[in-house]
Amino acid sequence: MAERLLLLIDGEFVASKSAETIPVTNPATQEVLCEVPCASPDELNRAVASAKAAFKIWKEVPTPERARLMLRYQDLLKSHQDDIARVLSKETGKTFADAQGDVWRGIEVVEHACSVPTLMMGETVENVARRVDTYSLVQPLGVCAGITPFNFPAMIPLWMFPMAIACGNTFILKPSEQDPMTPNMLAELFLEAGAPKGVLQVVHGGKDQVNALLTHPDIKAISFVGSVPVAEHVYRTGTQNLKRVQAMAGAKNHMVVMPDADKQQVISNLVGASCGAAGQRCMAISVAVLVGEAASWLPDIKAAMAAVSPGAWDDEAAGYGPQITPQAKQRILNYIATGKKEGATCMLDGSDCTVDGFPDGNWVGPTLFADVTPQMTIYKEEIFGPVLVTTQVDDLDAAIELINANPFGNGTSLFTSSGGAARKFQHEIEVGQVGINLPIPVPLPFFSFTGWKQSFFGDQHAYGKQAVRFYTETKTITARWFDEESATGPNMTIKLK
């Protein structure tokens, strides 16, 4: 019988009393790695109550001490990076190198959290009126929660709880039920770094546990990453229950290829950005917009994609791993079939992909479509697999118009050797994250992850300065200290004197 994963409640890993469990499987073999329990209402309430009690103590801990916790934590994460990546690879199917990158991009956010004393500095103006000074303080909210997706089980939890906790909050983490072993490892190391009892809680489960967090009266803020329908539900439910919400959602990221770009660089970057991580990235390139003569590069793009093949996590020759579940694989196969039915040219079909030694894996091979129009399903919807659709336009203006008409605005990129074209593109494009000769422009943590349009619901984005604003309140103080002068008469106006 598979091991049951533990919950982290009130500073201790405990066995859930819930009878409801979800199997966690290896996507390459279907082997059951563990059973994840669905936390009971009582267990979830105990986790929130513990976090609420811990907040009263944690918020008073000096900011430099909170930063030192993050310094110890990032050191432990670095020393255990490969251990975390091995577990992550087995439960997600990612190649080991890709899993290492998943962990590292999370570590970078923890490094940024180490600078929280300067990030939480307020503002001061002296003498806004005679002997009157105004200054602001940045203070934590209380209990915050994060609901994370399957595709980055290390990076995205580390986008959330380190920044929230460094700001003085306490945190409830509800990881994806599809790969919860990695988040549990992150929590174990956080306790080892010296995190006080109750500062971080980990509860597992599915929809019921998510809805309980969204409606719990003691939770002040919710961070979420997932599909558009769920993100919209999280945003509406959370805000209706008077919570701050940042909900990162779906994408349809375009890469514009100008004919003056470096051809080999374009092809190399396009293949990696469309097929890497089996296409299971919200910042994956899923549409190539070929401008003018760049359309003639399609045979070369096909050849480069055909040279990539999926494989097991420890296969160094594998370009990427399997899809997370059989259902995810079937959804992608349905999109491929729909693309053919609607008239797109399937230049490379990965529907019948197999991997020697892993007959039960959720494999989908690289797939390339040409002659795709904006009316086709494979253009309009996020496929979330190693499927690249291509379309052709005459010039940069047409490419910008095409992208701006898309309802998503997570990421986009332009490959060109023209500074003028790059300047025009970055200025006119209506997308939150833009790459120039970079295919996946995920910002480093001292900036923020800034999806637009239907790719994001909320006001303040993840990590960077915006995360500090999301996880804190600003208190503004106006003060006057009287000297020995005689008192003046009453001020009957709103004006400071």
Cite the active site residues.
282
- Write down the residue that tokens 């097991």 correspond to: 312
Enumerate the H helices of 241-389 as residue ranges.
Answer: 263-275, 298-306, 326-341, 377-380
Enumerate the H helices of 29-154 as residue ranges.
Answer: 41-58, 63-79, 81-92, 96-113, 116-119
Single-letter amino acid, residue 355: V
Nearest-angstrom CA–CA distance, 166 and 464:
12
What are the structure tokens assigned to 243, written together? 């919570």
> 10 Å Cβ neighbour count for 18?
18
Contact predicate 304/268, CB 8 Å: yes
Contact predicate 151/281, CB 8 Å: yes
Nearest-angstrom CA–CA distance, 367 and 93:
19
What are the structure tokens assigned to 289, written together? 């917009």
> 10 Å Cβ neighbour count for 132?
15
Using CB atoms within 10 Å of the CB of residue 8, give its burial: 0 to 12 exposed, 13 to 18 middle, 19+ buried: buried
Q: State phi, psi for 310 to the nearest 5 degrees.
A: -75, 165
Nearest-angstrom CA–CA distance, 450 and 467:
11
Q: What is the DSSP string of 165-200?
A: HHTT-EEEEE--TTS-HHHHHHHHHHHHTTPPTTSE
- Write down the residue that tokens 């105990």 correspond to: 46
Nearest-angstrom CA–CA distance, 356 and 359:
7
Q: How far apart are the first and last CA of the chain?
A: 76
Single-letter amino acid, residue 396: L
